[in-house]
Amino acid sequence: MKKLLAFICLCIQIVPIMGQSVLRTPHGVKVETKAACVELECFSSSIIRVKKYPLGQAPEKQSLSVTMQPKKVKYKIQEANNQVILTTSELTVLLDIIQNQVRFATKDGKELLAEKPSSTGFTSFNDAGNSTYRIRQTFLLDSDEAIYGLGQHQQGKMNQRNQTLFLQQANTEICIPLVHSIKGYALFWDNYSPTTFTDNAQGMTFDSEVGDLCDYYFVYGGGADKVVAGLRELTGQAPMFPLWTFGFWQSRERYVSQDELVGVVAKYRDLKVPLDGIIQDWRYWGEDHKDWNAVEFRNPKFPDPKKMMEEVHHLNAHAIISVWPSFGPATGIYADLKALNKLMIHETFPQDNGVKVYDTYDPIARDIYWKYMNKNMFSIGMDGWWLDATEPEHSPAKEGDLEFQTYLGSFRKVRNAFPLVSVGGVYDHQRQETSDKRVFILTRSAFAGQQRYAAQAWSGDVVSDWDVLRNQIPAALNVSLTGIPYWNSDIGGFFSGRKFPEGVKDPAFHELYVRWMQFAAFTGMMRSHGTNTPREIFMFGERGYWAFDAQEKMINLRYRLLPYIYSTSWEVTSNGGSLMRALFSDFPEDKKVTDIGDEYMFGKSILVVPVISEVKRRSLYLPEGTQWIDFWTGEKQKGGQEIIREAPIDIIPLYVKAGSIIPAGPSVQFATEKSWDDLQVRIYPGADGEFTLYEDEDDNYNYEKGKYTTVRMTWSDKDRQLTIHPRQGSYDGMLQNRNFRIVVVDNLKGLGLDNESYTVNVEYKGKKLNIKLP
């Protein structure tokens, strides 16, 4: 490290010497070494693109993930002793011409990441008649450096060191060649072909099957939040979801008729159990696989889908529908795509029925896809999209499948970007159709940048099993650390029949399901779904039975927390924030949290510790640097210690960070049933804190035009004073006056959100208020 710092100081004094091998470019420098041509390009002072390619070639590439254009950045380029140094206000990048090595350091010389010398590999490869390369690059990490990301994988690892992963999209596996380091940087390997990631004693390597160049982005932030914000700046911001999407969702594989689907919603209303969404899974198009995914209602048990949607909406609920990227040969969309040669060749589920995947990389194919969705679904009031199997499902793979020439080249070349492009096509088309309804997409696969398309990934067809439940937590956190903020899983696991053949009749399944639901209440989407057995709450018995009551308790808690969740989603949209947060994001100085993958922060205030076994207690760690208040009891605990928390079946351990301000909404049956004119504001003392309450029109894009309000609240712990600052912004129909019920959580018993002891009521009219509390 001292050697690197001394070298930087020496070079700063050297007058740049630009020879034939070192050329300035509009945003950086281009250097020809004996091995390759290397370009360093400043996208910002903290984001650097590195391109390497064989001499004499200058491949043009339009990134599918990166939307950012290079900014005008002040930088210096200097050359000495076969070294080229590029410096910005945030970073120093050193290129050793002899060793063909790029190194990254902070502006004060602290080394962040280095390529392994002479480890760039270009192996000639014939990709379906196109002369190109297999490409490879190795990087050197610190021996104790934790890295995260790479997408969603089911092996239960939080820290992604010391393993080999084959990155190719598949059901339950989301593959994103991006690592996020605990040292405060991310590296995005911008390649869409199947890629082998390896980390061992020789280094960390990305080895991609095909590519015209080695192309990666180094994003520096100094901390997890700024790294994620940098990734969003690079690949696109996450738009707001409608408020109703954060309510409770019910689904099943599958509802067999429109009467059954509407009946489920009506049953929830009769029971007065909150619900906002219902999902129609496959075969609404009919039972014959040759009619597969017709993107229209052909099944006679769905005779009037427009009426179905009207009835769902009359019940103050919303519906989304399963649409696949593959089509049976008896469908109209298949015929339209085939006539224009827009179908791919590989077999997909269901096999041996002639079902084909569309060439999503072709804009004309995406137009046809949306034409059917718009005509047969969106026009009748469908509220959103469940884009299933966006890997796309590809089995059994056959020789020649990867050689198929898509609109953007061989399928091998663009394989892993299929979900990004397919989901993006739906988002773009709906935005062109209207700005009065926000896009909402649930999808089974993802790639870097997919957050910009209002897409929420889920973990695929996982098995109902305690170990699988445990593995969902680090899977979700690693997705979040790639810049994709919203994730969820099938409550109870998709395949229940393997471990619980009696399904909902088995009390053991009830226990797993309840614990999974408790976890789901603190994810991007609280959604019940699965096969083998129904999952509706009324299938578990009646009120008074523990499994019913525990579910209802968590559903109601989710709705009470909607002001907190929706305001946090604004932080995601406006500041590149995260909803599910790895502990090191908020406690970077606490080395004990580095590899904790079974607890996390939900927003910046709530520590969530899911119960992941039949044992009704949890060993958990409270991060140091703050006090923690038990959400359920109000008991205070100091940070930096491991404790045992009893967890009866209706309790998930939750702890609130001292200094938190949490708004709680009214009890409702659906998200927009009641306005937020009488909110509880819960203060958890022990430190200063702040929170910004966000509100808008719920389900349009007027917020992009500035039509929203924020109310900032700050807490002075020393003065025990809450300051509610002047309201900022406005929108049609906004609340002019409201009541805040302020509760200070000070070792009160039996809290949750129901105990309002020591409440102070204040009327707020948008002007500043200072409230002194006892």
Catalytic residue ranges: 388, 391, 461
Instruction: Quote the CA–CA distance of 682 and 662 in Å, as a whole number.
Output: 5
Instruction: Give one word for 582, left, alpha or beta, with left for phi > 0 and alpha for psi -120 to 50.
Output: beta
For residue 391, what is the enclosing H or E element? none
655 with 631: CB under 8 angstroms?
A: yes
- Crossing angle (nearest 10°) for helices 562-575 and 546-560: 50
| Gap between the Cα atoms of 236 and 455, Å rounded | 12
From CA 73, how far away is CA 44, in angstroms rounded?
A: 6
What residues does 692 pair with on adjacent strands?
Answer: 712
Given a contact cutoff of 8 angstroms between Cβ atoms, the answer to whether 174 and 480 are in contact is no
Residue 75 and residue 88 in contact, taking contact as beta carbons nearer than 8 Å: yes
Cis peptide before 274 (omega within 30 of 0): no
**DSSP string over 457-499:** EE--S-BS-HHHHHHHHHHHHHHHTTT---EE--BT-SB-TTT
Q: Give how far Cα 351 sits from Cα of 286, 327, 328, 357, 397, Å.
A: 17, 12, 10, 12, 11
Angle value at C-alpha 254, between 249 and 255, nearest 5 degrees: 80
The strand pair at 409-410 and 111-115 is best described as unpaired
What's the half-sphere exposure (Cβ side, CA atoms, 13 Å) at 714?
9
Structure tokens at 109: 């010389």
Secondary structure (3-state) at 527: strand
Q: How long is the chain?
A: 774
Which tokens belong to 356? Answer: 């084909």
Cβ-contact 658, 685 below 8 angstroms: yes
Contact assessment for residue 261 and residue 534, using Cβ atoms and an 8 Å cutoff: no
173-196 as b/e: b if 16+ CB within 10 A: bbbbbbbbbbbbbbbbbbbbbbbb
Cα angle value 441/443/448 (rounded, 5°): 95
The Cβ of residue 248 has, within 10 Å, a number of other Cβ atoms equal to 27
